Amino acid sequence: MSVDTTLASTSNSLVYSAMAVYAVALGASAFDLATLGEKVGARRRASARSAAPRQELASQAGGVGTITVGRTTAPTGPAPLAEDGAPRRAAGIATSLTVLALLLHLGGVVTRGLSAHRAPWGNMYEFSVTGTAVVVLVYLGVLARRDIRWLSTFVLAPVLLSLGLAVAVLYTDSAPLVPALQSFWLIIHVSIAFVSSALFVLAFSTTVLQLVQERREVQRAQGRPTGAGRFMEALPASADLERLSYRLIAISFPLWAFTLVAGAIWAEVAWGRYWNWDPKEVWTFIIWVVYAAYLHARATGGWGGRRAAYLSIAGFACLMVNYGVVNVFFPGNHSYSGLS
Amino acid sequence: MTTTQERRAPVPDPPEVDPAPVGLGLLGWVRWTWRQLTSMRTALLLLMLLAVLAVPGSLFPQRSIDQVRVATYFEQHPDLAPWLDRLSLFDVYSSPWFSAVYLLLFISLVGCVLPRTRVHLANLRQAPPRTPARLSRLPEHRSVEVAASPERVLDAARAVMRERRYRTAEHAGPGGPSLAAQRGELRETGNLLFHLSLVGVLVAVAVGGLWGYRAQVIVPVGAPYVNNTTNLDTWDPGALVTGDSLPPFSFVLDALHVSFDDDETSGQYGAPRSFSADTTLTEAPGDAPVERTIRVNEPLRAAGASVYLAGNGYAPVLTVRDGDGNPVFSQPTPFLVQDSNYTSTGVIKIPDSPTGQVGLQGIFLPTAALGADGMPASSFPDARDPVLYLTVWTGDLGLDDGVPQNVYELDTSEMTLITTGDGIPVRLRLEPGQSAELPDGLGSVTFDSLDRYAGFTVRHDPARGAALVFSLLAIAGLTASLFVPRRRLWLRAGAVGSGAVGGSPPPGAGRTLVEVGALARSEDHGLAGEADAVLAAVLARLDEPPAPQQHPQQHTEQHTEQHPRQQRPEEGAP
Ligand code: HEM
């Protein structure tokens, strides 16, 4: 089957348009963060918040019905974003543009796949384009459930960077797959790996923010100046960021385990041995073990918080090695980068 | 991190560095070492160590994957390579140090998980703990006045909690009768299942390595393959494979279909597009033959073994005649592929020619061209312009000294290369259908036609299925372990004014005060929602109107960490 070059070039145009819209969305979200940080910082200086649990007592009405007498809920941590009722116009614009860009981006992914009649993940360029689309998709998925618009800058910036790298360095013309990749396990194994990696990427962003926020909290507690980065005022407290990082990793970790197992099944079908210690397998295993260590660290006395965060960052670094270094430089059964 | 310690309460993990016993004797030391080994901190360190030690295996070529690349590495780094070899860096995953770490990790795992399993089984049989006196101290607390009697409230609560899969126990108390409920034991069950399944995976891998085998064979098109160790090119049995009786299936390679990208503008010119082998299989002697196609990613499964299409190449059909014109060799001769354009090398050994032993060493090019270094190289993998170059050796092939030889290599140590008068090796060039005279009256060689061959891998792993089942069990256990919330919930129904909230004389005497308190025993963001839902369900059963939500709370994050231990009754000693 030959390649439909019209569709392939449509795909390229769509990817370029998506990048342009992402860039504008990134500008809007950075602006939102900066102004919000300014506002929250000013308010923080004006009044210190009390962190006591909220106790609400109802008036004692008579009658036959139920009377709510009391309700205590554990504090949910300071939520600076939700407190201020003022609409965040720039954040709204950023989100709308992100949705628009993602539609263009997904269009690029789909046309790329259609142009070669296959799943659009057969080489490094396609991994990057499809992978970034999944990152944005997962971000918007989480956003649908809770307001994490403060994260958008830290999602859009790396996405844009990866897309830039993809079109400038990794670009490969659309082509059919080599026989070793012609398997429906490619679709299962790689698509789960995408979702899982996207969650790890988001967790990396929140982990870095968590560490920065923690430093600012310590500085503030000691009465020292918190330095540059007023936008951090608009972000949740480090404990909340830590919990979010954990939840992202907790969701991703079994998916990565599944990636590992699906890869092993495929290896058995393709090469006759489910585990070969091929460099790609080795690094997938290392990533899994590092995140397992993260989960263990979080449960080990004296290892939570900061030290666990370093493990999560190490896990992300391994993910990047697996993607950027192993594909290209380590010869093995997985040398499908499409680069020569 | 008080909470997390509480969560894995069954593990008696020393909170900080456990001082080594002084003067406790051997037994004390053994106990101390065991406690260290099975501690959470050791497990963590071993996990990190395992990750680090796995890295070098991806940096250096590994014998288990590619012996040729290891040999090349030795050639390129003659000084360094032997040292690396001494450190097992070419066999990382079977090296003593890598094995030591993962074995210690698994010993630690078993030592940690077995006692936890015992504690957990005991826990499963234990009733939920007594209701704390002051439910308002729990992280989640709701209270509501209803008209129903305490007994009816408790009946409703019992039904609701059963529905929500809580285990329950009833307690009497000064504040009124109460129901204690607990759920989420599946979390710990999942965690134990996960860890034990990892042991299962390890055992399955070991069994597969010890009792499995792997073999490779090259089969020219049209030729039969009979599954028997004497027919194999390589035979790599597990350490405990006894004998060499393989399941006696056989097949004929009827045809091999190969295609490559032939679009010069695509940037993928010459890339493989599809490989498939048509075979006729006879599963056991006497069975009716059936037609099967083997593709990359579609192995042939026969009699417990699997046959994979691992490669393909060219087998020129060559005939060699001696000086008298009598054929001394005539067959398809597989040439091994050296690069992505199928530049291939092969040899022909003629031990019994009247003129002495002759060896031919050849390079086959499916599409003849010159490489960048001026040497012949193929420029496309398909046979567009096939050319065979041969050099001629005479002397001793070394076949008689009993040492098994590689049929694809010529041992030239006892042979001489035939050269022209001025010392340049004689090189014959043949296209299909052509013949050439061998020098020195040795005879002639004819390139009759061009065939292809398929390279098959034959593999048997008795524990493949077990490894898969344990992996899937591990993922299932892991999912439960990460996402099933462990919760305790108490509901008390007391006559209004009996003292739980406030002290002043009640305006609504005869009414019942329903109190709900909830406690998370794991990472749990849904606890507030659960307390609300339980209360709402109880009220619905009592036909009471729902409790009004005065200030809609954000039930986004509910976490145990923010609540110091002392606020949680019943959470004392592990
Ligand atoms: C092959 C080695 C091991 C691997 C890959 C591994 C992996 C994991 C993972 C991924 C988790 C997270 C699941 C969860 O949080 O519920 C976990 C939890 C846990 N592991 Fe391991 N583990 C290993 C060995 C051990 C050992 C040796 C111990 C005992 C010292 C241990 C004790 C625990 C405990 C107590 C938890 C629960 C932590 C919690 O409460 O969150 N594990 N393990």
User: B426-455: per-residue pLDDT in tens?
Assistant: 888 999 999 988 888 888 899 999 999 999
Q: How far apart are the first and last CA of chain B?
A: 15
What 8-state DSSP symbol labels residue A321? I
Q: B57: distance to nearest CA of chain A, Å? A: 7
Of B401, B426, B460, the residue that ends a domain is B460
Q: Report, as ranges of residue numbers, the positions in chain A whose pLDDT lies below 70.
A: 1, 44-69, 74-87, 228, 328-340
When computed from its CA atoms, the radius of gyration of chain A, rounded to whole angstroms, is: 23
Give B513's contacts in chain A (Cβ within 8 Å): 69
CB of residue B341 inside a 6 A radius of ligand 1: no
Rounded Cα distance between B553 and B561, Å, is 19
B245 assigned to some structural domain: yes
Cβ–Cβ below 8 Å for A67 and B508: yes
Domain count, chain B: 3
Enter the tokens of residue B98.
């890598």
Judge if B387 and B257 occupy the same domain. yes
CB of residue B159 inside a 6 A radius of ligand 1: no
Domain of residue B542 covers: 131-184+486-566
B344 assigned to some structural domain: yes
Nearest to A253 by CA among A208, A301, A203: A203
Chunk chain B into consecutive blocks of 10 residues (it has 574) and report each block's average pLDDT, rounded to whole numbers: 35 49 75 84 92 92 84 90 92 92 94 92 87 87 86 89 90 86 92 96 93 90 87 84 79 91 78 88 88 90 88 92 87 88 89 83 89 82 90 83 74 84 86 88 90 91 93 96 92 72 54 89 84 90 71 39 32 32
Nearest to B166 by CA among B558, B521, B573, B539: B521
SS (H, E, C) B224-247: EEECCHHHCCEEEECCCCCCCCCC
CATH of the domain at B533: 3.30.160.110
Please report the sign of the dihedral spanned by the C-alpha atoms of residue A115, residue A116, residue A122, residue A125.
negative
- State the residue for tokens 């839902």: B533
Give A331's contacts in chain B (Cβ within 8 Å): 69
Q: What is chain B's percent helix, strand, coil content, to nearest 5?
A: 30, 30, 40
Pairing of strands B250-260, B234-237: unpaired
Judge if B238 and B361 occupy the same domain. yes
B6 assigned to some structural domain: no
Q: Looking at ligand 1, which residue's alpha carbon is closest to its atom 27?
A: B109
Q: How far apart are the first and last CA of chain A?
A: 23
Judge if B304 and B448 occupy the same domain. yes
Contacts (Cβ under 8 Å, ≥6 apart) of B557: A76, A77, A240, A243, B525
How far CA B519 is from CA of A70, B132, B161, B493, in Å, comes to 17, 11, 15, 18
B399-434: b (≥16 Cβ within 10 Å) or e: eeeeeeeeeeebbbeebeebeeeeeeeeebebeeee
B468 assigned to some structural domain: no
Q: Which of B191, B522, B524 for mutating ligand 1's site (highest number of atoms within 8 Å of CB)?
A: B191
Rounded Cα distance between B571 and B568, Å, is 6
Please report the sign of the dihedral spanned by the C-alpha atoms of residue A300, residue A301, residue A302, residue A304.
positive
Enter the tokens of residue B374.
């001026």
Judge if B540 and B416 occupy the same domain. no
Q: Compute, in angstroms, the gap from residue B109 CA to the centroid of ligand 1.
A: 8
Cβ–Cβ below 8 Å for B145 and A69: yes
CB distance A327 to A299 below 8 Å? no
Cβ–Cβ below 8 Å for A272 and B507: no
Q: A106: distance to nearest CA of chain B, Å? A: 24
How far CA A297 is from CA of A209, A294, B16, B482, in Å, comes to 19, 5, 14, 15
CB of residue B109 inside a 6 A radius of ligand 1: yes
B550 assigned to some structural domain: yes
Enter the tokens of residue B467.
């490894």
- Closest residue, chain B, to A174 (C-alpha): B266
Q: Compute, in angstroms, the gap from residue A6 CA to the centroid of ligand 1.
A: 52
Judge if B316 and B297 occupy the same domain. yes
Judge if B98 and B52 occupy the same domain. yes
B471 assigned to some structural domain: no
This prediction has a pTM of 0.84
Contacts (Cβ under 8 Å, ≥6 apart) of B472: A261
What does the pLDDT read at residue A229? 72
Give B55's contacts in chain A (Cβ within 8 Å): 282, 286
B574 assigned to some structural domain: no
What 8-state DSSP symbol labels residue A322? I
Judge if B269 and B344 occupy the same domain. yes
What does the pLDDT read at residue B9? 35
Contacts (Cβ under 8 Å, ≥6 apart) of B244: B229, B235, B237
B387 assigned to some structural domain: yes
Of B88, B122, B156, the residue that ends a domain is B122
Judge if B319 and B448 occupy the same domain. yes
Q: Compute, in angstroms, the gap from residue B573 CA to the centroid of ligand 1.
A: 21
Give the containing element (helix H, strand E) for B318: strand B305-321
Pairing of strands B224-226, B336-337: unpaired
Rounded Cα distance between B397 and B45, Å, is 56
What does the pLDDT read at residue A272? 84
The model's pLDDT over B175-228, given as tens digits with 9 standing for 90+, comes to: 888 899 999 899 999 999 999 999 999 999 999 989 999 888 999 999 899 888
Rounded Cα distance between B523 and A245, Å, is 13
Report the side by side order of strands in the sheet with A67-73. A54-57, A67-73, B140-146, B512-520, B487-495, B178-183, B167-171
What does the pLDDT read at residue B193? 96
Judge if B272 and B331 occupy the same domain. yes
Judge if B279 and B219 occupy the same domain. yes
Pairing of strands B443-460, B305-321: antiparallel
CB of residue A93 inside a 6 A radius of ligand 1: no
Angle at B127 between CA B123 and CA B132, to 5 degrees: 110
Judge if B109 and B149 occupy the same domain. no
Rounded Cα distance between B452 and B433, Å, is 16
Residues 156-195 of A with CB under 8 A from B: 172-173, 175-176, 178-180, 182-183, 185
> Residue type at A1?
M
Judge if B153 and B245 occupy the same domain. no
Give B144's contacts in chain A (Cβ within 8 Å): 66-69
Residues 85-144 of A with CB under 8 A from B: none
Q: Which of B93, B461, B478 sits opposite A257 (nearest CB)?
A: B478
